[in-house]
Amino acid sequence: MAHRTISDEAFFDKALDLFRTYGFEGVSLQQLAEATGLEKASLYYRYPGGKDEIALAVAQGVVDWFRIKVFEPLAGNGPTRKRAVIVADNLRTFYSGGKKSCVADVLSIPGGSEDLKAGLKNAMQAWIKAFADIARESGLSPSVAKARAEEAIIRIEGSLVLARVLGDSATFERTMKLLPDLLTAE
C-alpha cells in the first residue's frame, strides 16, 4: 500500500510499549517504523528530533496519563482510602499486573537526551509529592507522609524489577494490595 497512517494516540501506545520494554538504546527507528506501520522518513516528519524526540513524547504522554489516572484521583474528594484503592487499580492496569516495566526505570538508563532525564526526574518528584499529599490528608504528619510516599514508590519500582527478573508478578501484586495501607493512616 502506498500511504499508511496512524493516529497520534495509537502511535503513542506502540512507542510506549517498545520503549518501556527495550529501553532507549534497545529501540531502533526501524522497530518504531514496523510497529507503527510508518516509514522511517515519516517518523522524522512527525518528530524531526528523531528517537530522542519520540522518547521525550512518550515520557510526556506517561506524565499526562499519571496526571489523569493518579494525581487527579488522589487530589479528588471522598475518603482518602477509597481514592488510594482507585489509584492502586489504575497503576495495576498501567503495569499490566507487573508484566510491563516502569518507564522511569528503563528510560533512566543513560542514552537518551538531557531533556528526557530531566523529565523523568520531574515526573518522579511529582509522583512522590502526590503520594505524600494524600498520606498527609489522611492524617499522617508531613515527615511520615513523605516517608510513606517514598516507601510506596520504592516498593512499586522494586517489585517491578523483581517481576521482570523473575518472570513472576506475585511480588508486584502484593505491593499493589498493600498500597492503600501505605498511603493512608491506618
Partner DNA sequence: GTCTATATTAAGATAGAC
Partner DNA sequence: GTCTATCTTAATATAGAC
Residues at the contact surface with DNA, assessed by CB under 7 A? 2-6, 27-31, 37-42, 44-46, 48, 50-52
- As a whole number of angstroms, the distance between CA 67 and CA 124 comes to 12
- As a whole number of angstroms, the distance between CA 82 and CA 77 comes to 9
| Residues 28-87, interacting with its own copies (CB under 8 A) | none
Closer residue to its own copies in complex, CB, 75/109: 109
Please give the span between the terminal C-alpha atoms of the chain, in angstroms, as a whole number.
60
Q: Quick one: what does residue 35 bind among its own copies, DNA, none, with the CB cut-off 5 to 8 Å set by partner type?
A: none
Q: Quick one: what does residue 45 bind among DNA, its own copies, none, with the CB cut-off 5 to 8 Å set by partner type?
A: DNA
What secondary structure does DSSP assign to 126-186, as a single string? HHHHHHHHHHHHTT--HHHHHHHHHHHHHHHHHHHHHHHHHT--HHHHHHHHHHHHHHS--
Closer residue to DNA in complex, CB, 1/165: 1
User: Considering CB under 8 A, how many residues would be counted as binding its own copies?
Assistant: 36
Q: Cβ(62)–Cβ(106) under 8 Å? A: no
Count CB-CB contacts under 10 A for residue 186.
Answer: 9
Q: Quick one: what does residue 119 bind among DNA, its own copies, none, with the CB cut-off 5 to 8 Å set by partner type?
A: none
Q: Does 110 bind its own copies (CB under 8 A)?
A: yes
Binding site for its own copies (CB under 8 A): 21-26, 101-102, 104-106, 108-111, 120-121, 124-125, 150-151, 153-159, 161-162, 164-167, 171, 175
